[in-house]
Amino acid sequence: MLTCPMCKKAVEGLVSHCPRCATDLTLLVDYVAHRQEGLARAEVLTRDGKLGDAVWAYLEVLEVDPENATARRQVGQVVTAVRQFDRAAPGRRWLRRLRRQARFRRWLHSWQEGVAPAVWIGVTVAAVLLVLCFLLGYYLGHQDG
Residues 6+ apart with CB under 8 A from 16: 24, 25, 26, 29
Which of 1-5, 31-35, 139-143 reaches the highest mean pLDDT?
Answer: 139-143
Domains in the chain: boundaries: 1-88
Provide CB contacts within 8 A for 33, sequence distance 6+.
14
**Which pLDDT does position 26 carry in this prediction?**
80
Q: What's the average model confidence in pLDDT over 71-83?
A: 84
CA–CA separation, 121 vs 126, rounded Å? 9
pLDDT score of 120 more than 80 = no
Q: How far apart are CA 89 and CA 37, in angstroms?
A: 37
Question: Which spans in the chain are helix H?
Answer: 26-47, 51-64, 69-88, 90-113, 117-144
Q: Is the pTM of this model over 0.85?
A: no
pLDDT (tens digit per residue) in 44-71: 988 888 888 888 888 888 876 777 888 8
- Does position 33 have pLDDT exceeding 90, yes or no? no
* φ, ψ for residue 30, nearest 5 deg: -60, -40
Q: What is the mean pLDDT of residues 104-125?
A: 77
Find the range with the poorest average confidence among 30-34, 35-39, 138-142.
Answer: 30-34
Closest to 36 in 3D by CA, of 56, 16, 64, 17: 64
